[in-house]
Chain A
């Protein structure tokens, strides 16, 4: 149980274009999803928290107009990197939490490798 998927697993895009990454909770409803960014050989950096039906809450220093997050349903959140630049190349990981007494536990997706050329 508690499986989270991401699509695509890797994507290459040209500078200036936009790319969308999907995060799905496959066997549970996730009222909250988190988006992280991970640079090579570094830890995960929380970018934003998204709650179903409301605007995402971005961490300090994360450009909300560049990283658009939508949490339209209880099983799907999307991250759109707009006008991508090479410095946006990174490993993006999402996680989802179950509502209720174990909401502190996050279930992680397999990640999406974005390369901007």
Chain B
């Protein structure tokens, strides 16, 4: 069965610093991978997704992620953190019947 592991339930970075949120997946088939962001008391917003093709995926708000099959990873990065990036981030992988399996989430804190 597919699974997702997010390393670090909380990550703190200074404003302007690099953001790196780690995600490893387990999948028995070529995966579809997603990163979502959730602000307090809101639903999920898709940041980016990997399906096929280019392994470096660019998303909204300056985020990008790289699919590394050999490492079964799909880490999320942003070169320069902004205060508005403070939120909960979920990595996810597609499962059978179009279900989505979510990681436990990483809370990103931005330090002024």
Contact = CB atoms under 8 A, between A and B. Distances in A.
Contact of A42 (B34, B36, B49, B105): B105
Contacts of A104: 32, 51, 94, 98
B71 interface: no
Interface of A: 4, 6, 32, 34, 41-44, 46, 49, 91, 93, 95, 97, 103-111, 113
B43 interface: yes
Contact-size category for B:
20 to 34
Interface centre among B43, B90, B107 (most CB of A within 10 A): B43
Interface string B23-49: 000000000101010000111111001
Interface of A is mostly: strand
Interface in B2-35: 32, 34
Interface of B: 32, 34, 36, 41-46, 49, 51, 90, 94, 97-100, 102-105, 107
A46 B42 contact: no
Nearest to B101: A46
Contacts, number: 50
A110 B42 contact: yes
A30 B66 CA distance: 30
Contacts of B46: 105, 107-108
Given A42-B105, A43-B105, A44-B90, A106 B43 contact: no
A113 B43 CA distance: 11
Contacts of A4: 43
Given A49-B97, A104-B32, A104-B94, A43 B43 contact: no
Given A43-B103, A43-B104, 11 more contacts: A4-B43, A34-B99, A43-B90, A93-B44, A104-B94, A105-B34, A106-B98, A106-B100, A107-B46, A108-B36, A108-B43
